[in-house]
Amino acid sequence: MACQSAAPGAAQSKKIVVTGLSPEAVRELQASAPANVRLVPAAAGQLLQEAADADAVLGTATADVIRAGPRIRWMQTFSAGVERYRSPELLNSPIVLTNAKIIQGPNIADHAMAMLLSLTRDLHRIIPNRPNEEWTRGQHRAIELKGKTAVVVGVGGIGMQIAQRARGFDMRVIGVDPKDIPYTPLLEKVVPPDRIDSVLPEADVLFVAAPHTPESERMIGARQFELLKRGAYFIVVSRGKLYDTAALVKALDGKHLAGAGLDVTDPEPLPKGHPLWKFENVVITPHIAGQSDRVQERRMELLKENIRRFAAGEPLLNVVDKQKGY
């Protein structure tokens, strides 16, 4: 996890405003916090007032809160993606921004594989027939993952978890990422985004788990879909703006893709009547991959540790490069 200090004068009293957490969660955080930390829950109508003398804010990083809180030096989001928070106020401030990029990795990776398996095992066609109470065989078309190649775009906290699961299915995994990724047996190789076209022809499955930034927007377009093997699968669990929706519809209409699994779309929510709804081989879920029975436990562990570090003037975990957006 990236680290950066955000608390000069660590021994001083710290006011941390919290929004978006239950009263029980705030009490749990306060119980574990150092003595010099005071957690203040704030509903939407109270947030700007409470931010005025706050040292940190948990749960948001909007421009209006930054303007209201001249003392704020740390802001923690509860999501992995931070694109909606990248205002000039934040980018030009001394505030350290941290996110939830790693804690959601296991559940989002599970969801990515679930969408893929629903397609490769033909479950997307079988499950809807259950109300008919028919034991129908013969038309079942199943694809085995062993030996297939997965290309994972974005091998951070989520993408690396996808790679781990894909390797568990005996898949060959190639990563696409702008960072220098340390050697791992999970990845056969990693190429930078400007070389993505060189590995797409190898992909039986293309997973998209990269953050949304100006550089990554629409990085999967008509050219990229054409480069994929005929019969490949397309799975997206990060942000809908990373792919060209019209180009995806065309690739599905032309039978170039065997199917797609979309937890995120553009536009979002996907409106009624949109062409993507008509494809039987497209599994659509309403941006729910980030949910699980364990994610809140991991979020609380991260918050407790970062509160402790902030109070002590130590480097924080999950620091976002504000200029890059991840």
CB atoms under 10 Å from CB of 160, counted, come to: 22
The pLDDT of 95-107, averaged and rounded, is 94
122 and 245 share one domain: yes
Distance CA 147, CA 298 (A): 33
188 and 312 share one domain: no
pLDDT of residue 11: 59
Q: Rounded to the nearest 5°, which phi and psi values hold at 96?
A: -90, 125
228 and 308 share one domain: no
Q: Which pLDDT tens digit goes with each residue over 304-323?
A: 999 999 999 999 999 999 99
In-domain check, residue 326? no
Which candidate, 269, 270, 262, places its Cα nearest to that of 242? 262
- Place 7 in a pLDDT band, splitting at 50, 70 and 90: very low
Q: Rounded to the nearest 5°, which phi and psi values hold at 243?
A: -130, 155
Q: Is the dihedral of CA 200, 203, 208, 210 positive or negative?
A: negative
Instruction: Look up the CATH number of the domain holding residue 220.
Output: 3.40.50.720
Q: Which pLDDT tens digit goes with each residue over 267-309?
A: 999 999 999 999 999 999 999 999 999 999 999 999 999 999 9
The pLDDT of 18-36, averaged and rounded, is 97
pLDDT of residue 238: 96
Residue by residue, DSSP assigns 210-254 as PPP-TTTTT-B-HHHHHHSPTTEEEEE-S-GGGB-HHHHHHHHHT
Identify whether the C-beta of residue 154 lies closer than 8 Å to the C-beta of residue 177: yes
In-domain check, residue 325? no
85 and 13 share one domain: yes
Distance CA 90, CA 197 (A): 34
- Of residues 139 and 19, more confidence is placed in 19
In-domain check, residue 31? yes
Assigned token pair, 288 = 């729910």
pLDDT of residue 2: 56
The pLDDT of 6-12, averaged and rounded, is 57
Distance CA 14, CA 266 (A): 40
**Residue position matching structure tokens 């990563």:** 175
Domain span holding position 215: 105-284
Q: Which pLDDT tens digit goes with each residue over 185-207?
A: 999 999 999 999 999 999 999 99
pLDDT of residue 44: 85
Q: Which pLDDT tens digit goes with each residue over 238-275?
A: 999 999 999 999 999 999 999 999 999 999 999 999 99
Domains of the chain: total: 2
